[in-house]
Amino acid sequence: MTNNIFGTTRILGIFGDPVAHSLSPLMQNAALREAGIDAVYLPFHVLPDNLPQAVAALRPLNILGVNVTVPHKEAVLTLLDEVDENARLIGAVNTIVNRAGCLHGFNTDGAGFVQSLAGDLDFDPAGRRVLLLGAGGACRAALVALAQSGAAWIGVANRDPARARLLVDSFSSRFPGTAFAHLPLASSLWEQALGASDLVVNTTSLGLHGEEVPLPWACVPKKCCIYDMVYRRGGTPLWHAARAQGHPVADGLGMLAAQGERAFTLWTGRKPPFGVMKSRLLAELADN
């Protein structure tokens, strides 16, 4: 059932390319209905060349706000009137709020990730050792959020060692309380880092289409938590492998819901009804 549309209904949405696969409309509209807010959340397929016009149109169309997803999170920064300090640090915006024609950019991904760690794994990063797989935008958001949460050590492992080194070098001086390392995959340093980690996070897209994320499980302590930012119906290969090995494990569904809850609050000034977004996501994946 869709939201009722009136002359007073405000519009929210998501800009992406592609965007048809997005589950954000399902969870956001469920929360808007439950909260009794006169708004509707819509998907907008925005090609990269059309991003400046799409962002500019938020003002005359009086659109309340939008989420921004791949491939626009970095490009949108220069198109906004104001960008939150945390979003600028991460180098990406995933939420735009239209305040009387002034467009404000935020990033709720990192905070949503840490919230999911707490809710899905009962994991507090403070004083812990975390190994991140990948070196893209999702890794940047996770790294910043983990460092801000007091992680003692953060390692970045990537197929391209130079990219991992560049990421680590760009943040090490900003967070002197956290030790950083960049690691080549399939090396003795990589195996040693796994053996000392409290949490391993897949920040890549591997697993979305059933790809394996190869981990030398013999090197991973049983107490080590595994977090896969990817989610798919039936679970990702990494999720299944971690469960089979007896590790605490969670996928990215909790992060999707948590970042969406924070965006909801930025747009409406209200907290969404507790648990509605994640419940709607779980129901959708169970039904398909």
pLDDT per residue over 213-242, tens digit each? 889 999 999 999 999 999 888 889 999 999
Where does 110-253 sit in CATH, by number?
A: 3.40.50.720
The residue assigned the tokens 């009136």 is 6
To the question of whether residue 109 is assigned a binding role by annotation, the answer is yes
Do 10-107 and 110-253 fold alike per CATH? Answer: yes
User: Over the stretch 42-61, which tens digit does the pLDDT of each residue have?
Assistant: 999 999 999 999 999 999 99
How confident is the model at residue 1, as a pLDDT? 42
To the question of whether residue 252 is assigned a binding role by annotation, the answer is yes
Q: What are the Cα distances from residue 73, in Å, to 4, 28, 138, 170, 251?
A: 30, 19, 10, 19, 22
How confident is the model at residue 9, as a pLDDT? 95
What is the CATH topology of the domain spanning 10-107? Answer: Rossmann fold (3.40.50)
Q: Which residues, at least 6 apart from 82, have a Cβ–Cβ distance to it below 8 Å? A: 102, 103, 104, 105
Calculated CA dihedral for residues 228, 231, 235, 237, nearest 10 degrees:
-50
Q: How many CB atoms lie within 10 A of CB 208?
A: 14
pTM equals 0.93
To the question of whether residue 85 is assigned a binding role by annotation, the answer is yes
Q: Is 271 a catalytic residue?
A: no
Domain residue spans of the chain: 10-107, 110-253
DSSP letter at 272 equals P
How confident is the model at residue 185, as a pLDDT? 80
Exposure b/e, 74-85, CB count within 10 A at least 16 = b: eebbebbeebbe
Cα–Cα distance, 251 to 215 (Å, whole number): 16
Q: Is 202 within 8 Å of 213 (Cβ atoms)?
A: yes
Strand partners, 251: 228
Q: What are the Cα distances from residue 253, in Å, to 55, 153, 160, 168?
A: 27, 25, 27, 27
Regions of the chain with pLDDT less than 70: 1-3, 287-288
Q: Which residues, at least 6 apart from 111, have a Cβ–Cβ distance to it below 8 Å? A: 145, 258, 259, 262
List 73, 222, 223, 278, catalytic entry: 73
To the question of whether residue 212 is assigned a binding role by annotation, the answer is no
To the question of whether residue 69 is assigned a binding role by annotation, the answer is yes
To the question of whether residue 32 is assigned a binding role by annotation, the answer is no
